[in-house]
Every structure is written in C-alpha cells, then in structure tokens.
Structure 1
Amino acid sequence: MENKGSSTKNIEQAQESCYQGWMAIQSGRVPELKQALAHRRSQNDPNADKTLRELIGKIIGDFKNYAGKRAHLSNLCGSNYYAPSWNTHLENALIWMGGCRPSSFFRLIYALCGSQTEIRVYQFLRNIDGYDPSGGGGASLSDLTAEQLAKINVLHVKIIDEEEKLTKKISSLQEDAADIPIATVAYSEEHVGEPNAMVDKALDKQEEAMASLLAQADHLRVDTLTKIVEILTPTQGADFLLAGKKLHLSMHEWGTVRDRRRRECKIDAGDDTTGEKD
C-alpha cells in the first residue's frame, strides 16, 4: 500500500510538472507574439507575415506536444485531470473535460472583434493621433471579412456539436459509478471502503475511459485552434493567440489571488469566533 501511495504521488507530481512547464512555455510566447505583432504593424511589411506564420506554427506545435504528454500521463491516472490539484478553485469551477471548452475560442474571437471595433470607432470619432484606418493589413480582428465570419460560424456550430457528444460520454461514465458492481459491492460490504478486487477492476476501467475522453477532448481543442488560425490572417491569428494566452495566464493568477484571499478570510473568521467565546 505504501508503494502504491508513493507511486500515485509521483504520478501527480509528474502531471503537475507537465502543467507548470506548459504555463512557462505560454508565458514565454507572450513577448514573442507582442514583438512579432509590433514589428508587423510598425513596418507594415507583408514579408513579416512569414515570421508570424512560423511563430503560429510553433505555438500550435506547443499545444500538440502538451496534449501528447497529457495523454501519456492520463493513462497513469486519468481522474487527476478532471479536478487538478494544481489548478485554482476558480479554474476547476470552469473546467470542461480537463481543460477549456473549444467553443470558448469562438467567444474570445467575438469578444475581441467587438472590443477592437469599439476602440477604432472611438479613435476615429475623436481623431486620435496614430489612428490607422487600414488596420495595418488585417491587423485587427475587427477587420474580419464576411467570408471569414461565415467560416468561423460554420466551424463554431460543428465544434459545439462535437462538445455535446463528448459531454454525453462523460455523463454516461459518471452514471456508471452508481452501477454494478460498484453500487452492489458498496451496499453489501460490512465496512465502508474495504478493498475489493472487483471494484478495483471496475474503477480501473473508469480511469481508462476517463483518460481516453481526455485525449479526445484535447484533440478537439488542438483541432479547433488549428482550424481557427487557418481562417484568420497571420496578424489576426497571432492577435487571437496572444489574447488566449494572456487570458489563460490571467485566470490562473486571478484564481490564485482569490484563493489566497479566501484563506486569509477563513483565518480571520476563526480568530473572531475564538474572541467571541472568550
């Protein structure tokens, strides 16, 4: 039993290390994207698109590599990824199949498109210095063409359908926890939680199924991201990826701050209660 506990701990540490490595890679890509975008817009050099395409390719490659590592580690313990201990409470409250919903990528595009349009209209009306009506050659998501919007909409509908299929699979898997033999063994055992080979076998199958679904969800996330940047211009794609990375990194930091704030409040509440009793 001690060896098993030690093994489980090592697996979780490896999974967390993989996650921390992924966060570090994302953090490192942010200044690269900013620099490449600034160069493209300041120089207005179409040849700079090649640099952006190469960087976008590397970022998609980063995501694929991370998904591959997760697939391997989830085979060792798949359930860890459905409520990761290395995530904040906020992140785990928003998690879907071990990560973000692929459909959230489209919501990000729509949000950026709207906000950038508002900024450009404001700049135009106020005649702010530096306003570029051309947008720097597809430099803004507010410059999405009708054809691009149509393609994004078609892809969005398709991805939502794929999400629903996976959601039904995980729902069915969760319901299996109350099925034979787990439920019957739990009811018939004299003492709660006694080791049982039949239950272990059933739970192992659950873990395997969860790992398989995580891999499918990650594949959908990578595939969705790849198809979105194919629709966008290099500048728009880089802008979108930059926003996505900043959002992911920010959500983790915001969640960390909120968790720390809650812990501090909990300690203060305990002190107040003690003071009242005294």
Structure 2
Amino acid sequence: MATSSSSYEIEQLQKGCYYEWMGLQAKHIANLKEALMSQQSYENDHKLVGVIVNDFQKYAEKRRELSHRSCSSYFAPSWNSSLENGLLWMGGCRPSSFIRVIYALCGSQIETQISQYLHKIDGNEKVDGLMSELTATQLAKINELHIKVIEKEDKISKKSASMQEDVADMPIAVTAYAKDLVEAGVVVEDALDKHEEGMAVLMEEADKLRVETLRKIVEVVTPVQAAEFLLAGKRLHVSLHEWGRVREERRFGCARADAVAGGAGAGTSNKTTC
C-alpha cells in the first residue's frame, strides 16, 4: 500500500477530512437548534434532516476513498483523544449507539413529565422534547432495528477478531521469531498490506451500517423527532471530544491536548468537535 512518507500525507488528508466534517457538524447543530426552537414547518424539518443524513453519507464515501489508500490511522486516530479512541468500533461509533440515544432521550423526558406531575406543575406547561411521544408502533420498529443492527455489528466484529488472529500466523509470526532485530521483508510487507486492505473493507462495511441505521431511524420517527435525535447525537460527540481533550490536558499538559484539538478551529469556534 502506501510508503511511510505517503502514509503521513494520507493521514494529513484524513485529518483534514475529519475536521472539515466537524466544521459541518457545528453548522448542523446550530441549524437543528434553530429549527427546534422556532418550530419550523414539517416540510422544513424534513429537508434539514435529509440534508444532514446525506452529508453523513458523503463523509462516509470520503472516508472509504482515503481508507483504501491507508487505513490504520482510522482505528486509532491521532486527532482523537485516548478517551475517544477507547470508544471506537471499526473506526467510528457503534451504529447501535444511535438507538441507545433514542432510548435515553425517551426515558429522560418521561422522567421529567413524571416529576412535573408529582410536583403538580401546570399541565399546560410544555415539556421540551418529543421522544417521549413515540408511539407503540414506532418503538416496536426501533426495537426491531436495534436487534438487527446488533446482529450485523457482531458479524463485523467476528471478522475483525479473525483478522487479528491472522497476524500471529505465517509468515509474520515466523519472521518475528527468527530475527532479533525484526526487519520486514517483502513477504511480511505483503502480508501487512493485505491485513490493512482487509481492515479498510471492514471499516467500509461498518460505515455502511452506520449510514443505513441512521436512515432507517429517521424513517421511523417524525421529522421533528429526527431533528431532536440528531441534535442529541451530535452534542454527545462534541461533548466526548471536549471531555477527552480536557482530561488529557489535566493528565499530560497542553502539548497532547493541543495536538488532539489542533484542527478543531476549522469551522468551529472552540475545541469541541468529534
């Protein structure tokens, strides 16, 4: 695949692609907040949700192109904090976590409603959020989707485990055992290239599942509920990036944290992008 110099150049392209996407995320968050606060029409909410899902699809396509040139960086990105990298699954978040966000929103809003009822707050007072209004049919579809997504995640995870075991196979293990100072020859380089190509294929499968899951969720919920869900998910990612940056700054000083947040200025007003 790529040489060491070209691998560095590709990693910089990957990092640039990431921060470009994060700049777009900041714009999405602002648009979603405005839409939910101003209670725009059903049609406008539907258009905004469609734009955001399509942007995610385009981002996945860019990742696929760059990953097939060099993939390893996506599995432990230098632009992420250690906290974020520890939460990665196949170079990103688990698609099933999208659905867990819906469950969390629904549960928290129901708790708020119960609390208001117990404290006898005026029943006309509006509770922010619409996920608590999911119908039984919607919940059944989301639960069915959740089960299917987990099954697909497990299949991809098993493929990844098999690939990791293959690293201890011929010819890599024999070469490593035979030499005190390991210098990868042509055979080993070919084996490692094949492994990285396989990783790229797995990440592409995972990205397809992420996009597919997102599209199916927004088909089940209303446009306003979809906007609320998307806003919650984006805020979660933003928060995780900022929490990770702050934790590393606290532990290791500014150097590592600045490296993580180095490109966050592209399209964002602070270092809170993920």
Residues 181 and 202 in structure 1, CA contact (< 8 A), matched pair in contact too: yes
1:103 corresponds to which residue? 96
1:209 CA displacement: 0.3
1:129 CA displacement: 8.3
1:237 corresponds to which residue? 226
Residues 52 and 235 in structure 1, CA contact (< 8 A), matched pair in contact too: yes
Q: 2 CA distance for matches of 1:180 and 1:6? A: 27
Gap runs ≥5 in structure 2 = 255-274
Identity %: 52
Encode CA deviations 1:126-145: one digit per residue, 9 max, x unaligned.
32586137x8xxx5100010
Q: 1 CA distance for matches of 2:6 and 2:99? A: 40
1:54 corresponds to which residue? 47
Q: 2 CA distance for matches of 1:132 and 1:89? A: 40
- Which structure exhibits the higher relative contact order, with contacts defined as CA atoms closer than 8 Å and separated by 6 or more residues? 2
Q: TM-score under structure 1 normalisation? A: 0.87
Structure 2 counterpart of 1:25, one-letter code: L
4+ long deviations beyond 2 Å = 3-6, 120-126
Residues 175 and 182 in structure 2, CA contact (< 8 A), matched pair in contact too: no
1:123 CA displacement: 3.0
- In the alignment of these two chains, the number of paired residues is 253
Q: 1 CA distance for matches of 2:184 and 2:169? A: 18
1:6 CA displacement: 2.3
Q: Tell me, what secondary structure is at the counterpart of 1:178?
A: coil
Q: 2 CA distance for matches of 1:172 and 1:83? A: 19
Encode CA deviations 1:135-177: one digit per residue, 9 max, x unaligned.
8xxx510001000010011110000000000000000000110
Matched, 1:10 2:9: yes
Q: What is the 5 A alignment of 1:63-212? A: 63-124=56-117, 125-128=119-122, 131-132=125-126, 140-189=130-179, 191-212=180-201
Residues 156 and 202 in structure 2, CA contact (< 8 A), matched pair in contact too: yes
Residues 10 and 66 in structure 2, CA contact (< 8 A), matched pair in contact too: yes
Structure 1 counterpart of 2:191, one-letter code: A
2:22 corresponds to which residue? 23
Q: Tell me, what secondary structure is at the counterpart of 2:167?
A: helix
Structure 1 counterpart of 2:88, one-letter code: I
1:79 CA displacement: 1.2
Encode CA deviations 1:176-218: one digit per residue, 9 max, x unaligned.
10001111121223x4221300000000100100000000000
In structure 2, which of residues 228, 242, 258 is the aligned counterpart of residue 253 of structure 1?
242
1:270 corresponds to which residue? none
Q: 1 CA distance for matches of 2:115 and 2:42? A: 28
Structure 2 counterpart of 1:229, one-letter code: V
1:252 CA displacement: 0.3
Encode CA deviations 1:39-63: one digit per residue, 9 max, x unaligned.
22xxxx7xx0110110000100111
Q: TM-score under structure 2 normalisation? A: 0.88
Encode CA deviations 1:75-110: one digit per residue, 9 max, x unaligned.
111111111111100001111110101111111111
Q: 2 CA distance for matches of 1:229 and 1:187? A: 52
Structure 1 counterpart of 2:173, one-letter code: A
Q: Which has the larger helix fraction?
A: 1
Q: 1 CA distance for matches of 2:61 and 2:181? A: 38
1:37 CA displacement: 1.0
Q: 2 CA distance for matches of 1:195 and 1:214? A: 25
Structure 2 counterpart of 1:127, one-letter code: I
What's the Cα RMSD here? 1.9
